[in-house]
């Protein structure tokens, strides 16, 4: 049995991850799709995959909503165990005029970092009872301090800062729960053609989701605390290697 929870699952990468796991998991596995609200595409998927895919409302900006979702998920999971948590929910925005004009830092941090932290800590008891204990935080190379100069062209400083903080959060969790057998991992899913990524992305959401699930499946204890990019033949930037911090 393998049970998976995906945040931000109403559209884009999150929705495609739910689709992939609905096909990959054994018959007794469950996929919990969470988001602030559902979508027609997600509702259709839930309907088509009855008893395997469930939608649970969760707003990661609200700790109360997160805790309520935990109680709902407990009622759905046989044995009260969660194996894989994928923190995909996040926000992104642009800042024109340079970093001195940045006014959305607090908001970006509240969702991309604090929200993710609150989800992780709230679901830890269910993950402790699971078999694989994998926590995947969807990140971005734009959060890399080492490569920051090469991403100057993108006017989204708050987003970059929030992803750098998310990476640091992941490492801290990885170190603290290493002895318990957890695997905390940051993953770069690539530049995807989604509402967030825009129409010029390198890959479809389906391609990104397929590559991300591959990384998750192969992640071992040696992956704990690392930041991996997806591996896709023919793409130099998607070589499966670690992203520089």
Nearest to 6 by CA among 63, 82, 64, 65: 82
**In a 3-state reduction of DSSP, which class is residue 72?**
helix
Classify residue 221: in a domain, yes or no: yes
**In a 3-state reduction of DSSP, which class is residue 54?**
strand
**Kind plus residue range of the DSSP H or E element containing 106:** helix 105-109
Looking at residue 162, what is its pLDDT? 98
**Kind plus residue range of the DSSP H or E element containing 31:** strand 30-35
Tokens read off for 17: 């991850």
Looking at residue 18, what is its pLDDT? 98
The model's pLDDT over 92-120, given as tens digits with 9 standing for 90+, comes to 999 988 899 999 999 999 999 999 999 99
At CB < 8 A and 24+ separation, what contacts does 199-207 make? 202/235, 202/237, 202/238, 203/232, 205/12, 205/13, 205/15, 205/16, 206/16, 206/19, 207/232
Contact (CB, 8 A) for 230 and 188: yes
The model's pLDDT over 178-234, given as tens digits with 9 standing for 90+, comes to 999 999 999 999 989 988 878 877 899 999 999 999 999 999 999 999 999 999 998
- Over the chain, what is the mean pLDDT? 95
Looking at residue 98, what is its pLDDT? 87
Looking at residue 53, what is its pLDDT? 97
Looking at residue 161, what is its pLDDT? 98
Classify residue 245: in a domain, yes or no: no
- Tell me, what CATH number does 54's domain have? 3.40.50.720
| Structural domain count of the chain | 1
For 52-62, what is the mean pLDDT? 97
Looking at residue 127, what is its pLDDT? 98
The model's pLDDT over 151-166, given as tens digits with 9 standing for 90+, comes to 999 999 999 999 999 9
Looking at residue 195, what is its pLDDT? 80
CA distance 70 to 30: 15
Percent of the chain with pLDDT over 70: 100
Looking at residue 27, what is its pLDDT? 77
For 141-159, what is the mean pLDDT? 96
Classify residue 18: in a domain, yes or no: yes
CB atoms within 10 A of CB 224: 22
Contact (CB, 8 A) for 155 and 96: yes
Please, which pLDDT band fits residue 143 given cuts at 50, 70 and 90?
very high
Classify residue 72: in a domain, yes or no: yes
Least confident of 23-37, 59-73, 176-190: 23-37
Looking at residue 201, what is its pLDDT? 79
Looking at residue 208, what is its pLDDT? 95
Range of the domain at 159: 3-229
Classify residue 107: in a domain, yes or no: yes
Classify residue 244: in a domain, yes or no: no
Q: In what order do the strands lie in the sheet with 226-229?
A: 53-57, 30-35, 3-6, 84-87, 134-138, 183-188, 226-229
CA distance 48 to 41: 11
Classify residue 234: in a domain, yes or no: no
Classify residue 236: in a domain, yes or no: no
Judged against a pLDDT cut of 90, whether residue 25 lies above it is answered with no
Threshold 0.75, pTM exceeds: yes
Looking at residue 80, what is its pLDDT? 85
């Amino acid at each position: 049995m393998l049970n998976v929870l995906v945040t931000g699952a109403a559209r884009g990468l999150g929705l495609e991850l739910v689709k992939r796991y609905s096909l990959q998991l054994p018959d007794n596995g469950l996929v919990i799709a969470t988001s602030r609200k559902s979508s027609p595409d997600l509702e259709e998927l839930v309907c088509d995959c009855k008893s395997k895919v469930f939608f649970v409302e969760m707003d990661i900006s609200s700790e109360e909503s997160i805790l309520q979702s935990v109680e709902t998920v407990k009622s759905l999971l046989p044995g009260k165990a969660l194996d894989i948590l994928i923190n995909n929910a996040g926000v992104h925005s642009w800042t024109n005029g340079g970093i001195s004009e940045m006014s959305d830092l607090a908001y970006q941090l509240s969702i991309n970092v604090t929200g993710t932290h609150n989800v992780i800590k709230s679901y830890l008891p269910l993950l402790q009872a699971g078999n694989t204990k994998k926590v995947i935080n969807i990140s971005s190379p734009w959060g890399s301090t080492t490569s920051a100069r090469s991403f100057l062209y993108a006017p989204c400083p708050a987003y970059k800062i929030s992803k750098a903080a998310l990476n640091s959060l992941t490492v801290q969790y990885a170190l603290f729960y290493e002895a318990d057998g957890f695997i905390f991992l940051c993953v770069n899913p690539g530049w995807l053609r989604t509402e967030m990524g825009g129409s010029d992305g390198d890959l479809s959401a389906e391609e990104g989701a397929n590559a991300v699930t591959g990384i998750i499946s192969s992640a071992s204890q040696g992956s704990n605390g690392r930041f991996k990019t997806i591996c896709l033949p023919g793409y130099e930037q998607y070589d499966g290697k670690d992203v520089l911090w």
